[in-house]
Amino acid sequence: MKIILSILIIISLQMCSQIKQPENPKTMENFTTKNNPYYSRTDRTKLSVPNSEWKKILSPDLYAVAREADTERPFTGKYNKFDELGEYYCAVCGNHLFRSDSKFSSTCGWPSFFEADKEGVAYNRDTKYGMERIEVVCKRCDSHLGHVFNDGPPPTGTRYCMNSVSLEFVGDSEKK
């Protein structure tokens, strides 16, 4: 009898934990981060994850930009008109990319920065669409972030033109 009782207790406990499990993801970003074993804001070890794996983890919008170098439509991104103080991380892997101090209001329709975290980004030559551009990628996971141009404001004269979907903002007030 005792055994049956304890089995019943175990079953009911399991049922409780099953009910509790889906913590009602409010946004796609949280959903992505929670189910992403590669996401870390402190580990800068280079990742080598195939696209077939990223496709299972990332939202379709993020996958298209980050892994297929798609560009979000101008003036639609969540960080285009956004000036809170904090840090910007790679939405794919959590690598630190920008500080809000280097963000400036650009009229181009995408969030723009005049300086990047040197340990956060890497560059590739991009000649797609008959243009000569420099692609900016995350140094840790190689995800596409946007492009960099030399028409930015002082002090650097550089403009990092980024896709909002590739970025994850953490405000200074949210830091623990």
Q: Does residue 161 carry a catalytic annotation?
A: yes
Dihedral (Cα; 56, 61, 66, 68), 10-degree rounding: 90
Binding of residue 116 to Zn ion (CB under 5 A): no
Q: For residue 8, which amino acid is it?
A: L
Cβ partners under 8 Å of residue 99, min gap 6: 87, 88, 115, 117
By CB under 5 A, name the one of 141, 145, 161, 167 that touches Zn ion: 141
Binding of residue 93 to Zn ion (CB under 5 A): yes
Of residues 142 through 161, those in contact with Zn ion by CB under 5 A are: 143
144, 166 Cβ separation under 8 angstroms:
yes
Nearer to Zn ion, 141 or 162 (CB): 141
Chain-centroid distance, C-alpha 47: 14
Nearer to Zn ion, 89 or 110 (CB): 89
List residues near Zn ion by CB under 5 A: 90, 92-93, 95, 138, 140-141, 143
Active site residues: 161
